[in-house]
Amino acid sequence: MSEPTKTLCPYCGVGCGLEVMPPARPGRPVNRDAQGNPVWQARGDRRHPSSLGQVCVKGATIGESLDKSRLKHPMVRDSLDQPFRRASWDEALQRVADRIQTVLSTQGPDALCMYGSGQFQTEDYYIAQKLLKGCLGTNNFDANSRLCMSSAVAGYIQSFGSDGPSCCYEDLELTDCAFLIGANAAECHPIVFNRLQKHHKKNKNTVKLIVVDPRRTKTAKAADLHLAIRPGADIVLLNGIAHLLLRQGRIDAAFIDECTAGFAAYAAVVSQYPPELVARECGIRVEDLETAARYWGESKRVLSLWSMGVNQSTEGTAKVRTIINLHLMTGNLGKPGAGPFSLTGQPNAMGGREAGGLSHILPGYRMVKNPQHRQEVEQLWGIPAGSISPDPGLAAWDMMLGLENGSVDFLWVAATNPAVSMPDIERTKAALRQSPFTVYQDAYYPTETADYAHVLLPAAQWGEKTGAMTNSERVVTLCPAFRDPPGEARADWWIFAEVGRRLGFTKQFEFANSAAVYDEFVQLTRDRLCDVTGLSHARLAATGPIQWPCPEAETEATSANKYNKRLYTNLQFATANGRANFAAFHAKGLAEPPDPTYPFVLTTGRLYGHWHTQTRTGRIDKIRSLHPNPFLEVNPRDAQKLEIQSGEWIEVRSRRGFVRLPALVTQNIARGTVFMPMHWGALWADQAEVNALTHPEACPISLEPELKACAVQIIPLTVQHPEVGEISPQVASKTLRQPTESTILTALPPG
Ligand SMILES: Nc1nc2c(c(=O)[nH]1)N[C@H]1C(S)=C(S)[C@@H](COP(=O)(O)OP(=O)(O)OC[C@H]3O[C@@H](n4cnc5c(=O)[nH]c(N)nc54)[C@H](O)[C@@H]3O)O[C@H]1N2
Ligand SMILES: Nc1nc2c(c(=O)[nH]1)N[C@H]1C(S)=C(S)[C@@H](COP(=O)(O)OP(=O)(O)OC[C@H]3O[C@@H](n4cnc5c(=O)[nH]c(N)nc54)[C@H](O)[C@@H]3O)O[C@H]1N2
Ligand code: SF4
Ligand SMILES: [Mo]
């Protein structure tokens, strides 16, 4: 192969275009990593419309992760205390199919569950829906998007009548005011942030950047105004901004009148949020609140961008709707440079939503509860009417509860690592240990979740299978296979389809290849908001990435891309009456507020170089040296009271568990709040699993857990410890697996 393969970065939802080249190319030295192993090379694709050639460190180093610690063969065992033994695909798949059959006949379909991922390609997602929801008759398919995007999905559906972010990245360069709330884009959506920052720097006098985050992140440091609110105070703040806009008459009355519903009830709620109260509850200055309202009011085009600081909350949906309220109130949507823009986390969480990849939705932005929607899907799938259950299936955490109480008998986990990423990890692990039968389908081995599997299935990953992914701005990119999967690894969709065939659904899973799967999927998007009937693998390969909607009729129109950049430009929304809905929400605050015993609020999140549970990035030297160790950020005044300094070992305890790690004393975090990264599971450090501390309380609408806040206490490990006696830092440092203490001290990010 001499031409580079054009594809999409398989990490974050920015969805940067990559060009990938094999280690050896004619006339060039072989590309090698630090150990001398030949590795695939990746660079930015200048022609990709979303990223224009830019990449961050993760995209640039992806090639180094492809051949390390891969799961190459199916493995089976009868119980968790046995070692795995290698099995043929035939044996492993037959075990899975037989078990499903048994559970179906003894327990019924709702004892079966699948837990998937925004790292599936659309074809993987689609086949999984068809198998579980169509053929097996249970809606128990959920994805890690439940921990991630489900509040955004619920907020869009309730406010606009449909899921679907309406903005595009060009808006980053057309806005007068970017309002980032609960998003550390500089580290988590770096190329989106680069585009925004460039525009901001170029127009310093006219373009405003507001960041709302309890931490002074890299993103916050670039802002004109940083509102370091208390964790969980977002609704108070947003209602407070609305209060001032209303008081100053900076609203778009015509828009409210013609295009929205529910304004009066909303206005009544925000009238109860005067500036003094809001500033006090948020822990910010009245002047700063007024400045935020002024920026909103004076800007012609406001673009808000949010991510997990908003979604991962017991009031996640209410937060999303409260952001949208501000846009409705000021007419800031459906036009260039303005709108409520949810930044998607994973590379194909968007495609997952289109394919129906949560337990309450169906392909084509349809709802499980809607009889007409079920009927449309049943017809296309060629299954009897009534096959799809009218009840939403189990959400991610409810699957764990189902294992706990014995109502779930079969769990199939693919492309996610719940033994690290679920809340309340000890309870999660205990539930997984109780599972009568768990299939785990991953690209890597070992991972923490593999310990809980009865069957391990080796998955072909990005670059080893061909499929489509949709990024945050609704751009669909084809990701072609450019190398062979290692060992016997197979594409996720193929594995699901093969089990379907073994269960007798031969007609439903008769696909020659993933292009045929995609062709069937697009039929289910016809005349829906996310219409992609004009797309096929062949078209995407020939023309490159395309933004949806892209209905069949537009197949010929080369202008389709420009035409479809934004949704709702005609101000007709997807609700029954075409109007967008205001929502009137009072703030409820955190599910587990601090108290005298657990006086700190722990918040959690990400670092620039690492990706989630490190299955890839933990195996890349450059990234390991960027972030060698877990740490806990503590404000200097709190540190003084606790008598701890940077690098000293502490124990952090919540009602559910504890971690031990070094402190990082920094002004970047407010007093009373502490921060810990999510990346270190049991394989990468001892006793530094952030989710040992978190709780599973979730938003009642989106069912998304409040992974961003729980109450903790901090115990310095150099002093007498109530349970384990005196621990010196030297002893404690042995509990960190990877780097030594000296690397911790030298590599702590600058405070
Ligand atoms: N480098 C890197 N990038 C990634 C990922 C990764 O693992 N590594 N993962 C991807 C995925 S799946 C996702 S979902 C995204 C997540 O992207 P982000 O949401 O931007 O990242 P997080 O660090 O999880 O959290 C964002 C911020 O929320 C703040 N926050 C905490 N509590 C509150 C609150 O109550 N209110 C407000 N306003 N803010 C709060 C935190 O301080 C944090 O800075 O990143 C994607 N990109
Ligand atoms: N405390 C706390 N917890 C959190 C969060 C937080 O902010 N704080 N964030 C939450 C969020 S937003 C998210 S998205 C989750 C992420 O949590 P996880 O989904 O658990 O994290 P990953 O490490 O991305 O796991 C993906 C797995 O898929 C595998 N994989 C990669 N490609 C493929 C493929 O093509 N096929 C298959 N079968 N496997 C593949 C990888 O090897 C890896 O094991 O964590 C959640 N948990
Ligand atoms: S910004 Fe996201 S999509 Fe782009 S290169 Fe980095 S990780 Fe990949
Ligand atoms: Mo996520």
Residue of 11, 188, 226, 673 to mutate, ligand 1, most atoms within 8 A of C-beta: 188
DSSP state of 130: I
Model confidence pLDDT, tens digit, residues 698-707: 999 999 999 9
| Residue of 1, 71, 99, 52 whose CA lies nearest to 503 | 99
Model confidence pLDDT, tens digit, residues 132-155: 999 999 999 999 999 999 999 999
Model confidence at 739, pLDDT cuts 50, 70, 90, reads very low
12 CA → ligand 4 middle, Å: 9
Model confidence at 735, pLDDT cuts 50, 70, 90, reads very low
Model confidence pLDDT, tens digit, residues 381-407: 999 999 999 999 999 999 999 999 999
Quick check: helix, strand or coil at residue 143? Answer: strand
Tell whether the model's pLDDT for residue 742 goes beyond 80: no
Residue 244 CA to residue 625 CA, distance in Å, equals: 47
Each domain of the chain, given as residue ranges in start order, spans 5-65, 75-146+349-464+486-524, 150-342, 600-745
90 CA → ligand 3 middle, Å: 37
Task: Indicate which ligand has the atom closest to the C-alpha of 192.
Answer: 3
The Cα-based distances of 742 to 441, 444, 608, 738, 747 in angstroms read 37, 30, 22, 12, 8
The Cα-based distances of 60 to 16, 66, 243, 370, 480 in angstroms read 11, 13, 45, 44, 18
Residue 608 CA to residue 189 CA, distance in Å, equals: 9
Amino acid identity for residue 295 in this structure:
Y
Task: Indicate which ligand has the atom closest to the C-alpha of 123.
Answer: 2
Tell whether the model's pLDDT for residue 450 goes beyond 90: yes
* CATH no. for 5-65: 2.20.25.90
Q: Is domain 150-342 in CATH 3.40.228.10, yes or no? A: yes
Neighbour tally for 108: CB within 10 Å: 12
Ligand 1 atom 2, closest CA = 188
What is the average per-residue pLDDT within 199-206? 96
- For the record, the structure tokens of 324 come out as 């949208």
Average pLDDT over all residues of the chain: 94
Ligand 1 atom 46, closest CA = 345
pLDDT of residue 725: 44
Ligand 1 atom with the shortest distance to the CA of 214? 42
Model confidence pLDDT, tens digit, residues 478-503: 999 999 999 999 999 999 999 999 99
Model confidence pLDDT, tens digit, residues 666-694: 999 999 999 999 999 999 999 999 999 99
* CATH no. for 600-745: 2.40.40.20
Domain 75-146+349-464+486-524 belongs to what topology? Answer: Rossmann fold (3.40.50)
pLDDT of residue 555: 57
- What share of the chain in percent tops pLDDT 70? 94
What is the average per-residue pLDDT within 15-25? 96
Ligand 1 atom 44, closest CA = 184
Model confidence pLDDT, tens digit, residues 285-334: 999 999 999 999 999 999 999 999 999 999 999 999 999 999 999 999 99
Model confidence at 741, pLDDT cuts 50, 70, 90, reads very low
Model confidence at 556, pLDDT cuts 50, 70, 90, reads low
Pocket around ligand 3 at a 6 A CB cut-off: 9, 11-12, 14-16, 51, 55-56, 58-59, 190-191
- What share of the chain in percent tops pLDDT 90? 93
